[in-house]
């Protein structure tokens, strides 16, 4: 639940609002590999294909009316133009038959020329505002991305580090969906202004389900 609205958290890192039949994903960071390559940092050029394959799978499973991508869908303002013909075809197939909304992010503040879908800075579902970067002064419910939260969870056999949703029931910060996106520990100081001392839960992504983990079982990176 976020601000009284019910969402289903998927192990892929997506959220689904059944009433609106809206699927939310954050921080795809498509073409991050090619962006790094342009700066001489060579990474295997498979991130866009892997991210689109994961996106196609979750869209197939939920059959949403609307997909909302919460910003940083592309790693830089020119990344959409670098999509291969094959990846562009896959993306168009995922988008076919449904509405698509690209929210702007700090990596992709401009519309993506030649791509299907509308562009906005924010979108609302009930009392909740959806945006890329969480705002400390948000006076209502909020779902955002940008921070790429991960939880380092202490278990009986050691620790594991997993991408996660982090929420206090009023605000939710979504995990990055992109294959090369990386993550920021939820104990990092960047999360403090958003949640303060309010109780929060890390919803850690597992292979087949999402695990609700109290913040007290999550530790900072060493």
Rounded to whole angstroms, the Cα distance separating 176 from 150 reads 9
CB 162 within 8 A of CB 182: no
pLDDT of residue 158: 82
Nearest to 98 by CA among 119, 116, 110: 116
For each of the domains in the chain, give its residue range(s) and CATH number, in order of start: 8-219 (3.60.21)
pLDDT of residue 151: 96
Residue 139: CB partners within 8 Å, gap ≥ 6?
A: none
The HSE-up count of residue 105 (CA atoms within 13 Å, CB side) is 27
pLDDT of residue 39: 65
Secondary structure of residue 10 in the 3-state scheme: coil
pLDDT of residue 137: 80
pLDDT of residue 198: 76
pLDDT of residue 32: 87
Q: CB count, 10 Å around CB of 84?
A: 13
Catalogue the long-range contacts made by 19-22 (C-beta closer than 8 Å, 24 or more residues apart): 20/65, 20/66, 20/125, 21/62, 21/63, 21/64, 21/65, 21/66, 22/64, 22/65, 22/66, 22/67, 22/68, 22/125
| 24 beta partners | 15, 68
Residue 19 — φ and ψ, nearest 5°?
-60, -45
- The predicted-structure confidence for 88-129, as pLDDT tens digits, reads as follows 999 999 999 999 999 999 988 877 778 899 999 999 999 999
pLDDT of residue 4: 92
pLDDT of residue 36: 60
Rounded to whole angstroms, the Cα distance separating 37 from 73 reads 18
Q: Enter the pTM of the model.
A: 0.93
Residues of the chain with pLDDT under 50: none
Residue 217 parent element (H or E): none
Residues 203, 101, 58, 4, Cα dihedral to 10°: 40
């Amino acid at each position: 639940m976020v601000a009284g609205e019910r969402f289903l958290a998927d192990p892929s890192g997506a959220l689904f609002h059944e009433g609106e039949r809206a699927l939310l994903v954050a921080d795809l960071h498509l073409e991050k590999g090619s962006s790094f390559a342009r700066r001489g940092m060579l990474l295997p050029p498979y991130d866009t294909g892997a991210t689109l394959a994961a996106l196609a799978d979750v869209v197939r499973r939920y059959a949403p009316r609307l997909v909302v991508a919460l910003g940083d869908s592309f790693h830089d303002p020119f990344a959409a133009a670098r999509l291969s013909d094959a990846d562009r075809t896959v993306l168009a197939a995922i988008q076919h038959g449904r509405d698509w909304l690209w929210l702007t992010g700090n990596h992709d503040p401009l519309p993506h020329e030649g791509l299907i879908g509308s562009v906005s800075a924010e979108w609302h579902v009930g009392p909740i505002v959806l945006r890329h970067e969480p705002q400390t002064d948000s006076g209502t419910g909020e779902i955002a991305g940008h921070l790429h939260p991960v939880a380092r969870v202490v278990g009986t056999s050691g620790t594991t580090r997993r991408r996660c949703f982090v929420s206090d029931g009023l605000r939710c910060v979504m995990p990055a969906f992109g294959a090369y996106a990386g993550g920021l520990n939820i104990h990092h100081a960047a999360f403090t202004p958003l949640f303060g001392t309010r109780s929060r839960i890390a919803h850690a992504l597992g292979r087949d389900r999402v695990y609700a983990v109290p913040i007290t079982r999550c530790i900072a990176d060493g």
